[in-house]
Amino acid sequence: MDYNLAALKLFCGQLKDARETSSPSAMTFRGILFQRAWLQGVLVSCGNNAGHFVLDDGTGVIDIFVMNAQHEWKIGMYVMVVGAFILRIGEAPMIKVFCFDSIFCCA
């Protein structure tokens, strides 16, 4: 992970325009090189597997995976996540989360 690259503040809807680069871990969005994305939204699904969630920010949804999720996360929580943006072959893109925090719980 190159921490010299910015963690871009994006909307889920913008991530569909992200493109792979020649570097295996870097992406580009409108000419900006990045590895990590920063998103905010509401948890709309807590998956069957531990640490798997779906985040909705009003422009789209994205799968997120939180390693070592130590808190009880609930559907309806408004959260902020920062993590590696991962394009997956044959599956929806995912954010592998490094920073995950509840901003407001509406449930």
**Tens-place pLDDT, residues 20-72:** 888 777 888 888 888 889 999 999 988 767 788 999 999 999 999 987 766 77
List the domain boundaries for the chain: 7-105
User: Which pLDDT belongs to residue 60?
Assistant: 93
Higher-confidence position of 82 and 102: 82
User: Which pLDDT belongs to residue 105?
Assistant: 56
CATH superfamily of 7-105: Nucleic acid-binding proteins (2.40.50.140)
User: Which pLDDT belongs to residue 104?
Assistant: 63
**Tens-place pLDDT, residues 78-87:** 999 999 888 8
Supply 72's token pair.
């009880």
Q: Are 67 and 96 in contact (CB under 8 A)?
A: yes
User: Which pLDDT belongs to residue 41?
Assistant: 94
Total-model pTM: 0.82
The secondary structure element, H or E, covering residue 95 is strand 94-105
3-state secondary structure of 13: helix
User: Which pLDDT belongs to residue 48?
Assistant: 65
Instruction: Work out the pLDDT band at 106, boundaries 50, 70, 90.
Output: low
